[in-house]
A and B are shown apart, each in its own frame.
Chain A
């Protein structure tokens, strides 16, 4: 199975901050990487697919980059509604696997 490792596991940030979350795959996965946002008690929501494509309806302050084994999710200017846990997920092979999550908290 492909292991996905996110860093950091949690972070504290203020409204307006630029936030970067990293996801590393245990093997090459090309650009088969998706990002999800999950708020407490809610289902995950697709933000980014194929490493850098913004899902319809997602604000442009979210962006993704990377290929191969290293990927990043960037929030250019953190908003109050962005405080949540973020997960990366590889779609290169089965089983699909997720990172352990990065919790973004209010500073």
Chain B
């Protein structure tokens, strides 16, 4: 069935960096991609980027492409998202999700539980 388990809450100061991890289990890790999405308090869902667990190809949202790095470690079946130069508007719950190909398109079928990142001085 598959499961994604994320790292815990982070509290950071403006200008700092954060790493969020996403541990996959119950499926063949390299067969699927991983996307990262965030949700600011009371707001909707914002797609941040995608990474292939097979070959490391990635695409980032233009809004954060200069501050984000997404990686995977196939030996530990873990995906990581590093976000640098944190600002107060980066405060959000960050989710990872598995990308599955369905009927010629793709969708996000397994989600992590979310990681709260709070940025405050």
Chain A residues in contact with chain B, CB under 8 A?
31-32, 34, 36, 38, 43-46, 49-50, 53, 55, 87, 89, 91, 94-101
> What band does the interface of chain B fall in when counting residues whose beta carbon is under 8 Å from A?
20 to 34
Chain B residues in contact with chain A, CB under 8 A?
35, 44-47, 50, 59, 61-62, 95, 97, 102-109, 111-114
Which of B44, B50, B97, B105 meets A98, CB within 8 Å? B44
Main secondary structure of the interface of B (DSSP, over half): strand
8 further A-B pairs in the complex, CB-CB below 8 A; given A43-B95, A43-B111: A34-B107, A43-B112, A43-B114, A45-B111, A49-B105, A53-B102, A91-B106, A96-B47
Of chain B, the residue at the smallest CB distance from A53 is: B103
Q: How far is the CA of A87 from the CA of B111 in the complex (A)?
A: 15
Residue of A36, A94, A96 with most partner-chain B CB within 10 A: A96
Which of A31, A46, A91, A94 meets B109, CB within 8 Å? A46
